[in-house]
């Protein structure tokens, strides 16, 4: 049975913990478990978002560990990555019978903890269930939640997102309401069009008079939408 310390040097340096500090913490923790750190692997070319199996040292670690081995790492986020990647990692370690201790969680997150004649679930099942829940949130269930939220917004008459139509604003309740100043401009657009002004001439006039940078196509769409609303 081998005890391996996994040292992660954050390539972004946003959460960099010096190698010697990680080594000291890992060795002290191993001693508290009655173990000694037989090997130290240093990962220093990847972001924590890259799955452990896709890193150089991480891949070597997972390929070489055997039943009864123990892995020690200072922070769970350095090996778990995304919820989906975390579930994959935990499944590999369970299948191989390897313990993974994350020091910031103070426990074995891949196997039940065994001490003498006492068997405790420890934190492993809790971590696994949490990763499952988060993984579902990343997949179809998350999409379903978004669709349900949009349906509720639509039912309540709230703004669904996207570009705000000219002549309208979103109020504090999240609903569209008329913008009085822009509505007056729309009325003027309608009057000019009824006087046989072209869309280009209307756009030019509004740019010169109001410094309103709308294209002739933008003017056409505004008037078309206004016309459709009047027919409803």
Q: What is the 3-state secondary structure (H, E, C) of 131-192?
A: HHHHHHHHCHHHHHHHHHHHHHHHHCCCCCCCCCCCCEEECCCCCEEECHHHHHHHHHHHHH
- Which of 213, 181, 211, 215 lies closest to 198, judged by CA? 215
Give yes or no for residue 116 having a pLDDT over 50: no
Whole-number pLDDT of residue 49 = 85
In whole angstroms, give the CA distance from residue 76 to residue 106. 10
211 and 98 in one domain? Answer: no
pTM of this prediction? 0.53
Which H or E run includes 101? strand 99-102
Instruction: Single out the residue in 138, 160, 190 at which a domain terminates.
Output: 138
131 and 32 in one domain? Answer: yes
In whole angstroms, give the CA distance from residue 13 to residue 45. 11
Band of residue 120 on the pLDDT scale cut at 50, 70, 90: very low
Band of residue 157 on the pLDDT scale cut at 50, 70, 90: low
pLDDT for 16-56, tens place per residue?
788 899 999 999 988 888 889 999 999 988 888 889 999 99
Residue 121, domain member (yes or no): yes
Range(s) of the domain holding residue 209: 179-231
101 and 26 in one domain? Answer: yes
Residue 108, domain member (yes or no): yes
Whole-number pLDDT of residue 95 = 92
Give yes or no for residue 118 having a pLDDT over 70: no
Instruction: Single out the residue in 105, 138, 171 at which a domain terminates.
Output: 138
Residue 147, domain member (yes or no): no
Residue 158, domain member (yes or no): no
In whole angstroms, give the CA distance from residue 142 to residue 131. 14
133 and 70 in one domain? Answer: yes
- Which of 51, 53, 49 lies closest to 64, judged by CA? 53
The rounded percent of the chain whose pLDDT value lies above 90 is 39
pLDDT for 164-219, tens place per residue?
888 988 887 777 889 999 999 999 999 999 999 999 999 999 999 999 888 899 89
DSSP designation for 1: -
227 and 126 in one domain? Answer: no
When divided into structural domains, the chain yields a total of: 2
119 and 68 in one domain? Answer: yes
Residue 27, domain member (yes or no): yes
68 and 18 in one domain? Answer: yes
Whole-number pLDDT of residue 119 = 37
42 and 114 in one domain? Answer: yes
Whole-number pLDDT of residue 16 = 75
Which is more confident, 176 or 111?
176
The pair of structure tokens assigned to 203 is: 């756009």
What's the whole-number average pLDDT of the chain?
80
118 and 16 in one domain? Answer: yes
Band of residue 127 on the pLDDT scale cut at 50, 70, 90: low
In whole angstroms, give the CA distance from residue 232 to residue 33. 74
């Amino acid at each position: 049975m081998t005890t391996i310390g996994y040292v992660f040097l954050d390539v972004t340096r946003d959460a960099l913990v010096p190698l010697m500090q990680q080594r000291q913490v890992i060795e002290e923790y191993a001693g508290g478990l009655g173990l000694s750190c037989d090997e130290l692997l240093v990962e220093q070319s990847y972001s924590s978002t890259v799955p452990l199996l896709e890193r150089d040292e991480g891949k070597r670690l997972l390929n070489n560990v055997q039943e009864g081995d123990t892995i020690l790492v200072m922070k769970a986020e350095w090996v778990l990555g995304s919820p989906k990647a975390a579930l994959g990692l935990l499944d590999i370690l369970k299948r191989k019978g390897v313990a993974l201790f994350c020091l910031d969680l103070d426990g074995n997150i891949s196997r039940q903890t065994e001490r003498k004649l006492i068997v405790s679930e420890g934190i492993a099942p809790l971590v696994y269930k949490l990763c499952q829940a988060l993984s579902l949130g990343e997949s179809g269930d998350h999409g379903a939640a978004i669709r349900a939220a949009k349906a509720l917004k639509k039912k309540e008459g709230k703004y669904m997102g996207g570009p705000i139509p000219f002549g309208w604003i979103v109020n504090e309740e999240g609903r569209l309401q008329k913008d009085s100043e822009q509505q007056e401009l729309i009325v003027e657009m309608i009057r000019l069009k009824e006087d046989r002004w072209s869309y280009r001439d209307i756009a030019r006039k509004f740019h010169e008079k109001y410094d309103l940078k709308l294209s002739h196509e933008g003017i056409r769409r505004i008037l078309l939408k206004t016309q459709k609303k009047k027919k409803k």
